[in-house]
Amino acid sequence: MSLKIKRLTDKLEEVEDCIFCKIASGEIPCYKIWEDENYLAFLDIKPVAEGHTLVIPKKHYRWVWDLPRRQPVGGQGGPNYSEYWEKVREVKNLLDKKFHPEWVEIKVIGIDVPHAHIHLIPHCQIKAVAD
C-alpha cells in the first residue's frame, strides 16, 4: 500500500471513529445549546464550570487550524476559520445572557478528541453570604 493511500485510509478511520462527528450527525445525543448549518455548540460532558460549552465544525477537521482560511468565491461551501471564530463569539454571547459571567475562558487544546473544537468556560463570581 502506498503512503498516500495509507494516509487516506487512516483519515477515513479517524472520521468514522470520531465521537464529535457522531454527535454532529445526531448518532450520539448531546445537550445542544446552538447550531447552524456548519457548526454545533453543546455542553461538555465533563464540565469544569456550569455552562462549559464546546463549539465544533460539523465537518471533520483534526485541528482548528485546519479549517480553510476563507469561503470559496461565491460564498458557497462549508466552514472556514474566520466564520468559526464569529460563531464562537455568538455562542459566547449566549453564555453571557444565560450566566452573566465575569469572563468567559476560551481554550483550544485538541488533544482529548481528534476533531477541531473550542471550549468556552463561563467564570462567575461566587458571592459570599454575610453572617
Give the residue numbers marked as catalytic.
117
Q: How far is CA 87 from CA 7, 16, 73, 80, 124, in A?
A: 31, 25, 20, 11, 22
DSSP assignments along 90-129, one per residue: HHHHHHHHHH--SEEEEE---SSSSS--EEEEEE-PPPPP
Please check whether residue 33 is in contact with residue 77, taking contact to mean a CB–CB distance below 8 angstroms: no
